[in-house]
Chains A and B, each alone.
Chain A
Amino acid sequence: GDSVTQMEGPVTLSEEAFLTINCTYTATGYPSLFWYVQYPGEGLQLLLKATKADDKGSNKGFEATYRKETTSFHLEKGSVQVSDSAVYFCAVQGGSEKLVFGKGTKLTVNP
């Protein structure tokens, strides 16, 4: 079945540092790829998505590019803020109806 391997956390950065969270996937067909974010005590919010190879999803300064050749969808942000502290989930939606998540990466940004 579909699966996602996501960079293990936790990740701790200083404000304005560069962020990369690695994500690779296996899926059948032509999957769509997503990053979701969960702020402390809150639900899941869609951060960005990409539906075909070479698409770049972006939102709130975060970016991820759908790389079919490396089956990757790494999340990046050039300058993180304290308010970015959250758990980030990479997810893949392949031929089945369901969304399969990675294990999540907890990010803490210190002032």
Chain B
Amino acid sequence: DTAVSQTPKYLVTQMGNDKSIKCEQNLGHDTMYWYKQDSKKFLKIMFSYNNKELIINETVPNRFSPKSPDKAHLNLHINSLELGDSAVYFCASRGDGRSGNTIYFGEGSWLTVV
């Protein structure tokens, strides 16, 4: 069983479209994240949720909207896609201090905007 799974793995779409990436973790963790990896491989946090509540929101355009229907899911919706949104998006999760603070990542979603 994959601990942190995200779909789709690959997504090619046109500018201006709206798309979603889904993420689910079966680790029982309370905290989930979205990270973006740009073309130079640089990884930067976008959002963090703890028990469905937003706790970190870095400087991300309003076109990006995370949604957490329950603590095992954190989806990322992107409106009006732009060329610069092309990147790899990683979902991740972390348990509380008692279960360790290691952050586990999904396999990534490769988004290409054309």
Q: Which of A's residues lie within 8 Å of B, judged by CB? A: 32, 34, 36, 38, 42-46, 49, 51, 87, 89, 93, 96-101, 103-104, 106
Contacts and interface: CB of A to CB of B under 8 A. Distances in A.
B41 A97 contact: no
A51 B101 contact: yes
23 contacts: A43-B106, A43-B107, A43-B108, A44-B43, A45-B105, A46-B102, A46-B104, A46-B105, A49-B102, A51-B101, A93-B101, A93-B103, A97-B31, A98-B33, A99-B45, A100-B45, A103-B40, A103-B41, A103-B42, A104-B41, A104-B42, A104-B43, A106-B41
Given A43-B108, A87-B41, A96-B56, A32 B90 contact: no
Given A96-B56, A97-B50, A98-B56, A42 B107 contact: yes
B48 interface: yes
A34 B102 CA distance: 9
Interface in B20-76: 31, 33, 40-45, 48, 50, 55-56
A99 B35 CA distance: 10
Nearest to B40: A103
B48 A44 contact: no
A42 B102 CA distance: 19
Contacts of A42: 107-108
A92 B101 CA distance: 11
A30 to B, nearest CB: 11
Contacts of A97: 31, 48, 50, 55-56, 94
Contact of A32 (B43, B92, B101, B105): B101
A43 B41 contact: no
A46 B31 CA distance: 17
A90 to B, nearest CB: 11
Contacts of A93: 101, 103
